[in-house]
Amino acid sequence: MTRAALFRSALFVLVVALLEILCRVGIIDKLTMQPPHRIVIDLWRILASGSLNAAIAKTLGNAATAFVLAMVVGVASGVVLHRLKLVRETLDPLFATYYAIPIFAFYPLLIILFGLGDAPQILIGFMLGVVAVIVNTLNGLDRVPRTLMKTARIARMGPVATVWSISLPYAAPYILTGAKLAVAYSLIGIIGAEFIMSRGGMGYEISFAYNNFDNATMYPLILLILLVSITINMLLARWEKRLMIRRGQR
Amino acid sequence: MNGAGKAAWLNALRLVVVILAAWQLLYWSVGDVALRSPLATMAFLGKLVSTGPFWAHLGETSRAFAGALLFAIVIGLSVGFLLGLNRFANEVLEPVLVAVYSIPKITLYPILLLMFGLGMSAKVAFGALHGVIPIALFTINAVRNVRPVLIKSARTMGLGPLATVREILLPAALPEIFTGIRIGFALTLIGTLLAEMFASQRGLGFLLMNAIGLHNVDLIMALTFILVAFAATVSSILLFLDRRLHSRA
Amino acid sequence: MSDAASVHVALKGVDKVFERSGRPGDVVHAVGPLDLELRKGEFFAIVGPSGCGKSTLLELIAGLAVATRGEVVFEGKPIRGQIPDGVGVVFQEDACFPWLTVSDNIAFGLRRSRLGKEERHARVEGALTMMGLTAFADSYPAQLSGGMRQRVCIARTLVRQPRLILLDEPFGALDQQTRLLMGDEVLRLWRKTDATVFLITHALDEAAMLADRIGVMSARPGRLIDIVETGWPRERDSRIVQEDAFGTVTARLWRTLREESLKAIGKTGAA
């Protein structure tokens, strides 16, 4: 482990220890926060009892759906837009300012349109992720060297075959960057929507626990989401790095 | 640059027309049960801005947003400079910033509510939490990417460390720092709004959520429109300034 | 030997060792031990294989780096980590400040001086004229070519009227024709300012054409293995390449340098 990583781990342990002490001594009261060790034990208890399995499955399932939608529509749109120059140019300002727009502001509208089910949440997750995928796909396709495209023409490959066998594989690392973002955005979208207004899922459970002063449930769930989110993002980042190194692009 | 500038304007105009057309088409296919036409929304908006309560809510959101942005910028720049200038601190803490950047921060909001209580402080803290990270990350990058030859030149011209930071480091890092602030602006707005949508009795976010229960489609469309239009417009202006700053570098 | 009054810069037993990582003992012996005397007003060039420490040597003379052993003396006073007054440095990379116009860049060189407003203005105008930049005074560096940006950096150094000018491969990024013309300009400036000029270059013909004396450095750790006197007249320009003696000088440089260059490649090739 590098010196910096060691230091970071030590810092983390220090902070947790500090919280533990402050909680036990009573400076942080029980209504605000539980001692860290209690949170971990409660999390274990909840997971073991399986009482929240339905909520976890719902959240992760919806997030996965939103992610797949964002990837499929995103990559396909990216491929199409790459060829339709005028459309791409017209949409360019939209892509440039898209992530400045509060997409969650559309949630009420989606609820009115589709009712309070899974659809509005999945759509929010989709809307958040799809543009990241499109932009990164376009970026990757832009970088396909002309020599590769010429090779395809000489081999008499049609446009579909070229895209499938040459352009997309070349652009894969960049598409992966988009996927990484889409995963994060899908989770953020689903959980955020569940928080604001929902009938189930992890976000809903945390919100419910908060409104019922149930810290014993709320904190473990927050910890769980943090752990899941950080782990997924870390794994994806490592995969992305490996792909880039293999291609000599880092 | 004027030819390219004009082309960009026309392009943006074209986009706005396309969006309005798509909106109108969507309205025609769904109907009044769930949507309003662009015209109807503007009309309602006109009526809305003449009502007192609207301004009270707008004021609440604006105050929260301004406060959050101020904190985000001050803290973000400070952390960014600290980590940008100190290599070891950066190695230790930057991964933490990156990790926090990608988690669903809304999950942390209940903790903030318990810490700050219901009200303005929690909103400001939550909004600032969203904006501070990109500002810090971009500032770190900006400071670290200042070309060493510029610092060396400053030294050969007799500038001490403080003067070097003020007269070389800052101007050299400014374009990248501005990008961070631009993104931080947008994310702070999103964070503030999210806080209001989850747990607040005042503000535009609250109004928006409240309208669902009342099935007030006019209000939902008008509010969504203002928020999106405001964010898009300010962001575009900031983006324009951003590009100009970068063109000189 | 040269008398004390005419020695502008003296390096005595200079050694420079860099630490590579945090571990003790993991060091790079960049330069030395090295002795060198620069005469006042002369044009001295340094050539050597890549990685031999030429830039390190320049930084030691400029005061940007501190010698691990030995002493660097400028105008009779030892330098110990502070940049002495009267020294100007032009680096290999573009060092223009992108946020300032050309004239503001040049004027920046006078920021720390105690000159009055009129004197400053006069000097900036003079530098603009000397480097042929008057038409671009209000342009930004991003709008200029690489060669012009280097001229701005040279002008920025000149406004301080340095007595010693250090140039670290200033024309490295330019094409051959531009390099030759820039060489003429440097000679012109050298004559006009009466400064001592210390130039680092990897181009043997450039060194042979420009310098009064040329030092040849060995592969790392860089030491001086030869000093060639060209004996050119002060009023010279790039047409000196037509002289027979030019070929002799270049040949002598390459004879010494070729072996050192092979050593340098051998070392890096194995890595």
Identify the structural domains of chain A with CATH numbers, from first to last.
34-246 (1.10.3720.10)
pLDDT in tens, A118-133: 999 999 999 999 999 9
- How large is the average pLDDT for residues A82-102? 92
**For position C5, what pLDDT does the model report?**
66
What ipTM score was computed for the predicted complex, to two decimals?
A: 0.88
Best residue in B156, B170, B176 for a mutation probing chain C (most C CBs within 10 Å): B156
**Torsion over CA: C131, C134, C138, C144 (sign):** negative
Give the single-character DSSP code of C117: H
Angle at CA of residue B175, ends C93 and C96, nearest 5°: 25
Is residue C244 pLDDT above 60, yes or no? yes
pLDDT in tens, B126-163: 999 999 999 999 999 999 999 999 999 999 988 888 99
- Measured in degrees and rounded to the nearest 5, phi and psi for residue B159 equal -85, 135
**For position A100, what pLDDT does the model report?**
92
SS3 C171: coil
pLDDT range class, residue A26, cuts 50, 70, 90:
confident
SS3 A116: coil
Rounded Cα–Cα distance for residues C241 and C223 (Å): 28
Question: For B157, which residue in chain C has the nearest alpha carbon?
Answer: C109
Is residue B4 pLDDT above 70, yes or no? yes
Question: For C93, which residue in chain B has the nearest alpha carbon?
Answer: B149
Give the single-character DSSP code of A164: I
Domains of chain B, by residue range, sit at: 1-35, 41-248
| Interface residue B168 vs chain C (CB under 8 A) | yes
- Closest alpha carbon to C110 in C94, C88, C93: C88
pLDDT in tens, A223-249: 999 999 999 888 888 888 888 788 776
Do the Cβ atoms of A101 and B115 come within 8 Å?
A: no
Q: Please, are residues A177 and A189 in contact by the beta-carbon 8 Å criterion? A: no
User: Mean pLDDT, chain A, as a whole number?
Assistant: 91
Q: Where are the alpha helices (DSSP H) in chain A?
A: 3-25, 36-49, 53-83, 85-97, 107-114, 119-142, 146-154, 159-162, 168-196, 202-211, 215-246
Is residue A175 pLDDT above 60, yes or no? yes
Query: Chain B to chain C, count of Cβ pairs less than 8 Å apart?
Result: 54
Q: Calculate the CA C261 to chain-centre distance.
A: 21
Q: Please, are residues C23 and C53 in contact by the beta-carbon 8 Å criterion? A: no
**For position A3, what pLDDT does the model report?**
86
**For position C266, what pLDDT does the model report?**
75
Which helix H or strand E contains C74, and what residues bound it? Answer: strand C69-74
- Which two three-digit tokens encode residue B71? 């904190």
- Which two three-digit tokens encode residue C15? 């050694």
- Which two three-digit tokens encode residue B190? 């999103």
CATH architecture, range C4-86+162-270: 3-Layer(aba) Sandwich (3.40)
Letter string b/e over residues C258-267, b meaning 16 or more CB atoms within 10 A of that residue's CB: eebbeebeee
Do the Cβ atoms of B247 and C142 come within 8 Å?
A: yes
Is residue A149 pLDDT above 80, yes or no? yes
Of C95, C99, C160, the CB nearest to B149: C95
**For position C269, what pLDDT does the model report?**
44
Chain B nearest CA to C70, separation (Å): 22
Is residue A67 pLDDT above 60, yes or no? yes
pLDDT range class, residue C6, cuts 50, 70, 90:
confident
- Closest alpha carbon to B124 in B172, B170, B176, B62: B62
Q: Please, are residues C152 and C131 in contact by the beta-carbon 8 Å criterion? A: yes
Q: Please compute, for residue C255, the number of CA atoms within 13 A of its CA located in the half-sphere on the CB side.
A: 9
Write down the residue that tokens 């009466």 correspond to: C194
From residue A193, alpha-carbon distances to A62, A63, B60, C195 in Å are: 11, 11, 23, 72
CATH topology for the B41-248 domain: MetI-like fold (1.10.3720)
Is residue A1 pLDDT above 80, yes or no? no
SS3 C224: strand
Contacts of B247 in chain C (CB under 8 A): 142
Chain C nearest CA to B75, separation (Å): 25
**For position A250, what pLDDT does the model report?**
46
pLDDT in tens, C105-160: 999 988 877 888 899 999 999 999 988 899 999 999 999 988 889 899 999 999 98
Residue-wise DSSP of A168-199: HHHHHHHHHHHHHHHHHHHHHHHHHHHHHS-S
pLDDT range class, residue C3, cuts 50, 70, 90:
low
- How large is the average pLDDT for residues B156-173? 91
Do the Cβ atoms of B172 and C87 come within 8 Å?
A: no
Chain A nearest CA to B240, separation (Å): 11
Please name the chains neighbouring B, where neighbouring means 3+ C-beta pairs under 8 angstroms.
A, C
Of chain A, the end-to-end C-alpha distance in Å amounts to 22
Domains of chain C, by residue range, sit at: 4-86+162-270, 96-161
